[in-house]
Structure 1
Amino acid sequence: MKRTSLKFIYKTCLVGLAITTFSCKKVFDLPAKNQVDAVNAYQNVFDANAAVVGIYGKFLGLADRYIVLNELRADLVSPTVNADTYLKQLNTHTETTDNPWADPKPWYSLILNCNDAMYHFDDMLKTGKLKPVDYQQRYSDIGALRCWLYLQVAIQYGTIPYVTDPVSNLTDLNDATKFPRLTLDQVIDKLATFMNDPVRYLDTYSTTDPITASASSSLNATVDGQTTSLFFINKYALKGDINLWKGDFKTASTAYRTISDIGPITSNNNAADFTTYEQFKACYDNMNVSYGNPSSNPNPNQTENPLNDNNVTGWRQMFADPTISTNSRSELIWRLPFSSTFAPVNPFIDLFANQGGSYKLTVSQAMMDNWNSQVQNNGYPYDARSRVAVRTIGGQPVIMKQLYYYLDNTSFLPVNVLQKPGYWLLYRSGVLANRFAESATNDNQLKLGYALLNIGVGNVFAPTPLPSDRTNTMQTFLPAPYDMDGRSGGPQNYHGIWYRQVGTRSRANLVPLPASTYNDKITLENAILDEAARETSFEGFRWGDLVRVAHRRGTPAYLADKVYNKLVKENNPAAVSVRAKLMTEAGWYMPFKL
């Protein structure tokens, strides 16, 4: 495949996700690095592109494992009566080495693919087969994906082999003399070293060749009406997350701020500039939870419509918009498609759907109680996001976030039981907002953390009463990356870059948390993590969130009590023994056997 078009590569390897072409197959089954076939697979930038795309195609096969491990092992998801023994083991932290969900081989198989590709990228640079800019973009991207994989493996298994060189056989990693096991903290240090290296290319792939201005070799393109920029890992988000884990909160916040400021800053008076004011900022007028007939007072006869069944506006759209519309563009950061005609099949339908699927997993009562503990500004005594994330179908609670592309908008029956389209949504602005709040809070910027979570920079940093002259109001007046301008209105008609930002809590129309919440770091961080559960439930973040906070505080009870309460609410007799196991950090991790 010397000059194969990019569109053909995407159609066969990414959009279609079928491993059908010669070059893509070689990405998954490469010989040792000294063999002729492997060398011949890396001759030019198009071969390098095929390697990148092929790795992402294989990466998509980890989607179910990622969601199941991070949600079922935590407190937001429970097994149904249809769940098998292995899923029930994950729920009670009794995984055995024969449990297929606990098998680390799928993770390491892809890690070794990344190592091999990066080795050959190095060789291509040395031999002039890749230009330096093409090398930096592809090497940094696959290296970042490898970091993401290692972070996931570390938070599931605790102590793991860490290897960055090509290895021909997975079982070789069992030799601890050659590949010593690293602890979670040691792995995070390695990942931070890689992602913080100033030579890393952290932006999205360029749209053209920097020398010829040709788009033919770029990995950032539009294929079948979809931009490929969402297919690849967002490296600023990953850098922020890894430094959040490491405890380098200023670096984490700087990375999160970079994403938040991704839109062009043109003029403080250009309120119509969407990307400046709304993209990736969790704003009040985009992706909010809304009703058919909103009212300031609760009305028992009022028709509420938080589902927005037409998928045009509202919080549901981020889970139901197959295109990258203006609203979706404000939210979506990393998303990969499942094809309805090629492998791998969308695994979420079998896991969650009770129509056309096996309905193995559902929402936990603990999560429903979390949502139902909230009160909205219009008086409704629950978090309306629960009506979008979970819906009662056939008398059963069904997790819906991954099913909106499969089920009809109004009947909630499969559009076509034989076709299972969908997306794996890996990162969005709702995640970013809460992570930014967590990093700011732990960097002792509690008032800002409260603003990012709750009611917005402009509101929190505005004096009471608010003067007509906004010049020295509604701003943080903090050093970077916390220097945020939320000004709006006044005679000057200011529009600070952060003036529409309100955070995920106010976007969900919830009553603001009291200002006393930011008097104490632990109280505020607890509120941020509880809000993260309500905003990002079932998306694969919860176990990592619990591990990160409990590990940072040195308080296993923070994690253990969350899981214990879930099991108690579902009358699971193992609740007490599970809590006892999780009260030591060693009890958090699954058995590791390659």
Structure 2
Amino acid sequence: MKKISIKIVYKTLLVSTLLTTFSCKKVFDVKPQDQVDITNNYRNVYDANAAVIGIYGQFQTLADRYIILNELRADLMSPTANADQYLRQLNEHAETTDNPWADPRPFYKIILNCNDAMANFDKMVADGRMTSSDYQQRYSDVGAIRSWLYLQLGIQFGSVPYVTDPLTSIDDLKDASKFPKISFDQLLTNLIAFMGDGKRYLDVYSTSVSTTGATNTSLNTTVDGYATNLFFINKRCLLGDLYLWHGDYKLASAQYHYVCELGSLSTNGSWLYDQYLVQNGDGNNHVDIYYGNSTDERTLVDNNNGGWRAIFGGGVGTLTGQEWIWSIPFDKNFLPQDPFVNLFSNTGGSYLLTTSQLALDNWNSQTQQNGLPYDARKLISVRTINGQPVIMKQLYYNVDATSFLPTSVLQKQGRWLLYRGATNMLHFAEAACNDATLGTSGVKLAYALTNVGVTRVYDNTWPAASSLPTDRTNIEQTFLDAPYNLDGRNGETPYYRGLWYRQVGSRTRAYLQPLPAALASDKLGMETAIIDEDGLELAFEGQRWGDLMRVALRRKDPAFLADKVYNKLLRDGNGNAAAVRTKLMNTANWYMPFKL
């Protein structure tokens, strides 16, 4: 009898509660060998919901692996003196096949569970145990998680087996005659064929009730204070990233543009122009770098309810939900525990990883609008605690808001922060910059998205400062075809507010001086500026290795990646810096050894 191996130890509070909410039966009760007999499972939509949530519970166990592989192998994160040989191998791109972080099996374990669930969903809709609309949502969601996992496998390992059939064991994949490895390019083609075929449900979930009107069957709900709308992968962001990796820039931009305007669908009217649009605010109500007194750096707004820190430290119902598109909670009462405390904290954790000196130098090379010679995002991303630099982004949920010490060394509660508005906007800028059909218009748009906003760049006086007409009908908008048709009009007579009128880009939100205006017509320079801004804004969030690799591959310039890793190692005093650079000049060495 076939069994599904989603184990109960992988449940979070949200997972276990949702299992009870969605079905009166404990679908994943543990039997011998931690396996579940599926004979009586997959009976109805509630069991399907439980299967989806169970997969997400298992997915959470990859959180530390995702951050380690995508940050430590790049240029912004470094091992501490406490790190073991395996973390040091990743830092120096010297992974051995016994390195537990370089093991692809944890990814495939979840992929096989996805395949099993999707096969059962097929059977459910075929014999009427689930409606076609419920099927599309759940099948698409699990398929998107599988696609995300495969994208990560491609980024880290290059050529990998691509299997969509339900198998009983990962060991089955060792048969190369049945499951040969395919190239990263072919993998991207396959993933796009699945996610972009027009059959997938790509939108966020509604809260509609079932057709019987008896019970809410939606995956979008709130349980114990956790809003599940942020729990599920945003499939449009994923599809946009797949297109971006594949070089389909206009298709990628269409997905990013759609997500940018999700705020227009929000029931929160105050977020109509804010949500996912990387807007500027007054510091107390919005997620920007802001000073109570712009001439006094001591007045930086730095708390969990306002300023840039609110992106990472805000609790349920706060401004954090304005920025994050995909975020999964770790609860103190259920496994798995938040792994980031152990990785980053020097009080209550093992303090294995910290910022690289290069990352600090990058922030220190910026100038704020008030003349301060550093990027204030540094102060919030990394704090000195007990004399040591500590990466804080993933720790704010678990520490006192003032002392930054753990509220309890035994209770580890936090969030896996996966994808946010700034990520989507910067990827949109990268896609627009590289869309050859736009020419320099795409570079100018990328400048606006990253730097000072649509309204300012398209006001017809930029970059010179001059007065504007009260009638903004024919300015402050791109006048480009979709998906680049962005409206930032901010006029008084007639009164009009375009959806993008408060969008400013992550640099202005960070209170930095604008990039040189010449970059608005310099494709290569603007692309480099976008990747630099990625590092300043998104450091330690799991984006960095992919961002560097994608641009280096596009340019056919391995030095773009190799030099950044070299400079990290050099400034950290690592004697192997030059040898690592030489190794990374061969793109084949970007990928870890693949062994099942």
Q: TM-score range by the shorter chain?
A: over 0.9
Which AA in structure 2 matches 1:519?
S
User: Which residue identity lines up with residue 317 of structure 1 in the other structure?
Assistant: A
Task: Name which of 429, 433, 441 aligns with 2:421.
Answer: 429
1:264 aligns to what SS in structure 2?
helix
1:255 & 1:214 partners in 2: Cα distance?
35
Whether the 8 Å CA contact 1:28–1:54 is kept in 2: the answer is: no
Q: Is the CA contact 1:185–1:246 (under 8 Å) kept in the aligned structure 2? A: yes
1:371 corresponds to 2:369: no
Name the counterpart of 1:147.
Answer: 147
Identical positions, percent: 55
Alignment of 1:338-357 (within 5 A): 338-357=330-349
Q: Secondary structure at the match of 2:122?
A: helix
CA distance in 2, matches of 1:470, 1:417: 56
What is the match of residue 587 of structure 1?
589
In the alignment, what sits opposite 1:494?
496
Distance 1:574 1:191 in 2: 37
Over residues 124-173 of structure 1, what are the superposed CA-to-partner deviations in whole Å (9 max), with x where a residue is unaligned?
11111110000000000000010000000110001100000001111111
**Corresponding residue for 1:514?**
516
The equivalent of 1:248 in structure 2 is 248
1:344 maps to amino acid: P
1:461 aligns with 2:466: no
AA aligned to 1:352 is F
Matches within 5 A, 1:126-145: 126-145=126-145
In structure 2, runs of 5+ residues without a counterpart are: 1-10
Do residues 313 (structure 1) and 306 (structure 2) align?
Answer: yes
Letter in 2 for 1:278: D
Decide whether aligned partners of structure 1 residues 140 and 16 sit closer, same or farther in structure 2, where only a CA change above 3 A counts. closer
1:181 counterpart residue number: 181
TM (norm. structure 2) is 0.92
Q: 2:7 maps to what in 1?
A: none
> CA contact under 8 A between 1:353 and 1:398: conserved in structure 2?
yes
Distance 1:351 1:564 in 2: 23
Alignment match, 2:5 = none
Distance in structure 2 (CA, Å) of the matches to 1:28 and 1:401 = 40
1:304 maps to which residue?
298
Contact 2:12 2:330 in 1 (8 A): no
Please tell me whether the aligned partners of residues 306 and 388 of structure 1 are also in contact (alpha carbons under 8 angstroms): no
1:82 is paired with a residue whose SS is coil
Q: CA deviation at 1:61?
A: 0.5
Give the distance between the partners of 1:150 and 1:382, measured in 2 at CA.
Answer: 38
Q: Answer whether contact 1:192 1:239 (CA < 8 A) is retained.
A: yes
Structure 2: which amino acid aligns with 1:551? L
Q: Which residue of 2 aligns with 1:446?
A: 443
1:274 is aligned to 2:270? yes
Q: Hey, what does 1:474 align to over in structure 2?
A: 476
Of 201-210 and 441-450, the range deviating more from structure 2: 201-210
Whether the 8 Å contact between 2:12 and 2:335 is mirrored in structure 1 is no
Q: Is the 8 A contact 1:437 1:528 kept in 2?
A: yes
Greater CA deviation, 254-263 or 528-537?
A: 254-263
Change (3 A) 1:25 1:76: farther
Separation in 2 of the partners of 1:79 and 1:215?
A: 50
How far apart, in 1, do the equivalents of 2:12 and 2:532 lie? 39
For 1:29 and 1:238, locate their aligned partners in 2 and report how far apart those are by CA, in whole Å.
35
- 1:202-232 deviation digits (Å, cap 9, x = unpaired): 1122312352344432211111123111100
User: Which residue does 1:283 correspond to in 2?
Assistant: 279
State the number of aligned residues: 568
Aligned pair in 2 of structure 1 residues 559, 28: CA closer, same or farther (>3 Å)?
Answer: farther
1:410 aligns with 2:428: no
Q: Structure 1 length normalisation: TM-score?
A: 0.92
CA contact (8 A) 1:17 1:57 kept: no
Moved more, 201-210 or 370-379: 201-210
Q: Structure 1 residues 208, 378: CA separation in 2 closer, same or farther (over 3 Å shift)?
A: same
CA distance in 2, matches of 1:194, 1:585: 27
Q: Deviations over 1:231-265 (max 9, x none)?
A: 00001111111111111111111101111111337
Q: Residue in 2 aligned with 1:328?
A: 320
Q: Hey, which bits of structure 1, 4+ residues long, moved more than 3 A?
A: 9-12, 14-18, 25-31
1:75 alignment counterpart? 75
Aligned to 1:24: 28
Counterpart residue number, 1:158: 158
Q: Distance in 1 between matches of 2:32 and 2:497?
A: 50
The 1:241–1:553 alpha-carbon spacing in structure 2 relative to 1, beyond 3 Å, is same
Alignment of 1:82-121 (within 5 A): 82-121=82-121
Matches of 2:317 and 2:62, distance apart in 1: 24
In structure 2, the CA distance between the partners of 1:11 and 1:387, relative to structure 1 (3 Å rule), is: closer
What secondary structure does 1:115 align onto? helix
Conserved? CA contact 2:12–2:334, under 8 Å: no
* Structure 1 residues 25 and 58: CA distance shift in structure 2, 3 A: farther
Separation of aligned partners in 2, 1:505 and 1:127: 53
Deviation, structure 1 residue 186: 0.6
Rate the CA distance shift 1:12–1:562 in 2: closer, same or farther, 3 A.
closer
Query: Could you say what secondary structure the match of 1:571 adopts?
Result: coil
| Alignment root-mean-square deviation, CA | 2.2
Judged with a 3 Å threshold, the aligned counterparts in structure 2 of structure 1 residues 546 and 349 are, in CA distance, closer, same or farther, namely same
| In 2: Cα distance, 1:17 partner to 1:391 partner | 39
* 1:571 aligned partner: 573
Q: Secondary structure at the match of 1:454?
A: helix
For 2:13 and 2:245, locate their aligned partners in 1 and report how far apart those are by CA, in whole Å. 36
Give me the whole-angstrom Cα distance separating, in 1, the residues matched to 2:37 and 2:522: 60
Distance 2:70 2:17 in 1: 26
TM superposition shift of 1:29: 8.2
- Give the secondary-structure state (helix, strand or coil) at the position aligned to 1:315: coil
Aligned residue in 2 for 1:526: 528
The equivalent of 1:52 in structure 2 is 52
8 Å Cα contact 2:18/2:53 also seen in 1: no
Counterparts in 2 of 1:582 and 1:10: CA distance versus 1, 3 Å: closer
CA separation in 2, counterparts of 1:59 and 1:123? 24
Is the 8 Å Cα contact of residues 45 and 130 (structure 2) preserved in structure 1?
A: yes
Rounded Cα–Cα distance in structure 2 between residues aligned with 1:57 and 1:136: 21
Counterpart of 1:550? 552
AA at the equivalent of 2:306: T
Deviates more, 1:528-537 or 1:484-493: 484-493
The secondary structure found in structure 1 opposite 2:589 is helix
Structure 2 distance, partners of 1:225, 1:539, is 24
Is 1:260 the counterpart of 2:235? The answer is: no
Gaps of 5+ in 1: 1-8, 267-271, 296-301
Question: Cα 1:265–1:208, aligned 2, differ >3 Å: closer, same or farther?
Answer: closer
Whether the 8 Å contact between 1:240 and 1:253 is mirrored in structure 2 is yes
